[in-house]
Amino acid sequence: MSTVVSLLSRAREGDADAFSEVVGRLYEELRQVARSQRRRLSASETINTTAVVHEAYARLEGGAGPPVFNDRAHFFRVAAAAMRGVIVDYARRQTRAKRGGRDRAVPLDAIGPVEDVGAIDLVQALSLDAALGGLAEVDAETARIVELRYFGGLTIEETAEALALSPATVTRRWTFARGWLHRALADDEAGSA
């Protein structure tokens, strides 16, 4: 099996499938970690998402073997980019499923407790993904900050570390990004209304 590193170098050479494979692998890790945590919990407990994400990242990074990334910053960037892929993919499928609007095949009480999935704003995730290209034209680094913070789920400090910036700079750029994206999404809504 190709390593994440070799997949990424293939991706850089233009192999579109290579990056999708990283995304696919991260997704699979997330599913497995989430499912195994879900199984350990009682129905009333909720899943610790931060722990799940960090474990999935760690598994993507190298699992049981030696770490494959020699610097953590590089790994965060890759993980966030992959996570963006996972989220967009997931959001697309979910919105499609909702559009399908089929009757429930099985009553919910027959299949056990269901996590609240309303926590993810699917439309927002898809819109932000689409708007990020425009932001990158203004300032590529700011777009990367959004990718790390929003899609990667990283803190200000982790983002700063990944991009070798000061936390203050990340905060200021993040503020700019909020404004830019807010306007882009509002324009979008106005445009499609």
Question: By the criterion CB under 8 A, which residues form the site for other proteins?
Answer: 1, 24-25, 27-28, 30-32, 34-35, 37-38, 46-47, 49-50, 52-53, 83, 86-87, 90-91, 93-94, 96-98, 100-102, 104-106, 108, 111-112, 114-121, 124-125, 137-139, 142, 149-153, 172-173, 175-176, 178-183, 186
Nearer to other proteins by C-beta: 64 or 114? 114
- Taking the least distance from each CB to other proteins, the nearer of 70 and 164 is 164
70 vs 89, which CB is nearer to other proteins? 89
In the complex, minimum distance from the CB of residue 192 to other proteins, in angstroms, rounded to a whole number: 18
Dig out the tokens for 149 from the structure.
């913070």
Give 43 or 70: the residue with its C-beta nearer to other proteins.
Answer: 43
3 state DSSP class of 164 = coil
In 3D, which of 63, 65, 19 has the Cα closest to residue 7? 19
Q: Nearest distance from residue 47's CB to other proteins, in Å? A: 5
| C-alpha closest to that of 143 among 132, 159, 157 | 132
CB of 99 to other proteins, least distance (A): 9
Say which residues have a Cβ less than 8 Å from residue 53's Cβ, sequence separation at least 6: 30, 83, 153
Beta-carbon contacts of residue 166 (< 8 Å; ≥ 6 apart): 160
Identify the helix (H) or strand (E) that includes residue 160: helix 156-163
CB of 131 to other proteins, least distance (A): 12
Instruction: State the DSSP string of 67-135.
Output: -S-SSHHHHHHHHHHHHHHHHHHHHHHHHHHHHH-PPPSS-GGGS------TTS-HHHHHHHHHHHHHH
CB of 157 to other proteins, least distance (A): 15
- Nearer to other proteins by Cβ, of 67 and 134: the residue is 134
Least distance from other proteins to the Cβ atom of residue 117, Å: 4
Nearer to other proteins by Cβ, of 77 and 149: the residue is 149
